[in-house]
Amino acid sequence: MARGRLLVYLGAAPGVGKTYDMLGDGRRRAARGTDVVIGFVEDYGRPLTRQMAEGLETVPRTTLSYRGSTFTEMDLDAVLARHPRVVLVDELAHTNVPGCRHRKRWQDVEELLRAGIDVLTTVNIQHLESLGDVVEQITGVRQRETVPDDVVRRADQIELVDMSAEALRRRMAHGNVYPPEKVEAALGNYFRTGNLTALREIAMLWVADRVEEALLRYRRDHGIQHPWGTRERVLVALSGGPEGGTLIRRAKRTASRGAGGEFLAVHVRRGDGLATVSPRLLDDQRALVDDLGGSYHTVEGDDPARAILDFARRVNATQIVIGATRRSRLKEVFTRGVGESVIEGSGEDIDVYVVTHSEAAHGRLLHRRARPARRAGEGS
């Protein structure tokens, strides 16, 4: 039996319209003749959401008692027995009441997918497990209910339900999210403009990274070697020499000039395993890359220039930053340096910056590019 498909409606905060959009999708599918049911939807008394659910078949919930109180949960066995083509399951990060087969709703969803049922679901960015600390720092609220990032990343489709902070606050003020008695407290705490703006940016960046993963996978699967400049991605090549800190900071500044830019660092380790650089220096440079928000990578190869270029194309880098040579002029006469080999092999799709530093043999500014689109040193 083929596995079902998972579509996730992802939002930055409660009230942006995830459940409403999910229900709208369900209604459109049902209108086309698809067998759609509601497994679990929570409307929180919102009239528009409740209205959107009208006309869709709902599988009755199961009732459980816990600590003297009564709760309703999705009846997983009833949904499996009904076996629709598509089921709508709200609040992916929800923790089930003890007595359910699974502790978490995302585990219920996994069982539905294994049964060949397509699932539409919703989740807010603050419920992703890896973002708990960041969200707490921003909002002061620790999320108790979380879902592993990989569960969402493996979704066949992710729809970002976006809304500006101002629009969401207006929706709150009009009573379209919480009851009137809760609005003032919500606007003054979790739903402050700064909080919502930060959460919105986190959601956008998370989705952008997921899209980037899909792009890299597409390029790999289709054997596409040349980079696609969808956004500026700067790769700094670290030899393990003392100039590494200078190069890392230059790469960070270059990447920061464009919206969504990022930088990576790569060190080529010799294939024979012999260490030719200071481990302490590399450890310090790795820490600096982490502090500046980059990612550090190590690859193996006996031809450093080829290894750098292969890695650059694999990660879709648009620029490479390397240091000016520390070799003597005599050695340059008889052998080609890594920098020259990188420039020669970069072709038309990757710009190469060769950056001077205090440890360079010649002490001169040398900015060269694979394409002479700008004069030397411009934009540095």
Rounded-to-integer distance, Cα 114 and Cα 196, Å: 36
Is the confidence at residue 290, as pLDDT, over 50? yes
Judgement on whether residues 291 and 184 belong to the same structural domain of the protein: no
Q: Are residues 14 and 80 in the same domain?
A: yes
| Domain end point (choices 183, 198, 220) | 220
Report if residue 125 sits inside a domain.
yes
Phi and psi at 64, nearest 5°, equal -130, 150
Residue 362 lies in a domain: no
In this prediction, residue 377 carries a pLDDT of: 39
Q: Is residue 274 part of a domain?
A: yes
Please write the tens of the pLDDT for every residue from 5-47: 999 999 999 999 999 999 999 999 999 999 999 999 998 888 8
Closest CA to 37 of 118, 109, 124, 122: 118
Looking at the fold, whether 172 and 260 belong to one and the same domain comes out as no
**310, 330, 326: which is closest to 366 by C-alpha?**
326
pLDDT tens digits for 180-196?
Answer: 888 989 899 889 999 99
Q: What is the pLDDT of residue 205?
A: 76
| Helix orientation angle between 338-345 and 304-314, rounded to the nearest 10 degrees | 40
269 and 175 both lie in a single domain: no
| Structure-token pair, residue 78 | 């009833």
Q: Which of 57-61, 172-176, 250-254 has the highest mean pLDDT?
A: 57-61
Q: The domain that contains 328 carries what CATH number?
A: 3.40.50.620
79 and 204 belong to one structural domain? yes
For residue 368, give the 3-state DSSP assignment. coil
265 in a structural domain: yes
Q: Are 323 and 177 contained in the same domain?
A: no
Average pLDDT over residues 303-318: 88
Q: 271: domain range?
A: 233-355
Q: How confident is the model at residue 359 (pLDDT cuts 50, 70, 90)?
A: low
What is the share, in percent, of the chain residues with pLDDT greater than 70? 82
Do both 129 and 48 map to the same domain? yes
Is 379 a domain residue? no
Lowest-pLDDT range of 166-175, 196-205, 357-366: 357-366
pLDDT, position 346: 84
Q: Which tokens belong to 213?
A: 């993963």
Q: How many domains does the chain have?
A: 2
Question: How far is it, in rounded angstroms, from Cα 363 to Cα 376?
Answer: 16
Question: How sure is the predictor about 2, in pLDDT bands with cuts at 50, 70 and 90?
Answer: very high
Q: For residues 192 and 240, state if they share a domain.
A: no
Mean pLDDT of the chain: 83
Going by pLDDT thresholds of 50, 70 and 90, the confidence category of residue 217 is low
Which string of DSSP letters, residue by residue, matches 15-75? TSSHHHHHHHHHHHHHHTT--EEEEE---TT-HHHHHHHTTSEEPPPEEEEETTEEEEE--
Please provide residue 168's backbone torsions phi and psi, each rounded to the nearest 5 degrees.
-65, -40
CATH number of the CATH domain containing 207: 3.40.50.300
* 312 lies in the same domain as 215: no
pLDDT at 261: 73
What's the token pair of residue 292? 């500046």
Asked whether residue 161 is domain-assigned, the answer is yes
Residues 246 and 163 in one domain: no
Reply yes or no on whether the pLDDT at 371 is more than 90. no
* Pair (108, 186) in one structural domain: yes
Tokens describing residue 329? 């002029």
- Which of 180, 199, 220 represents a domain boundary (last residue)? 220
CA distance 135 to 199: 8
- Per DSSP, the residues of 183-238 read HHHHHHTTT-HHHHHHHHHHHHHHHHHHHHHHHHHHHHHTT--S---SS-EEEEEE
Measured in Å, how far apart are the chain's first and last C-alpha atoms?
56
23, 52 in Cβ contact below 8 A? yes
| Cβ neighbours of residue 105 closer than 8 Å, sequence gap 6 or more | 40, 74, 89, 91, 92, 93, 94, 95, 96
Question: Is there a domain that residue 289 lies in?
Answer: yes
Please tell me the predicted confidence (pLDDT) of residue 216.
52
Q: Examine the fold and report which residue of 187, 220, 253 is the final residue of a domain before the chain moves on.
A: 220
Please check whether residues 246 and 205 belong to one and the same domain.
Answer: no
Residue 363, in any domain of the structure: no
> Going by C-beta distance under 8 Å and a sequence separation of 6 or more, which residues neighbour residue 199?
12, 13, 125, 126, 135, 138, 139
pLDDT of residue 275: 58
Other beta carbons less than 10 A from residue 81's beta carbon: 9
Whether the per-residue pLDDT at 378 is higher than 70: the answer is: no
Per-residue model confidence (pLDDT) at position 30:
96
Q: Minimal CA–CA distance to 139: which of 189, 200, 197?
A: 189
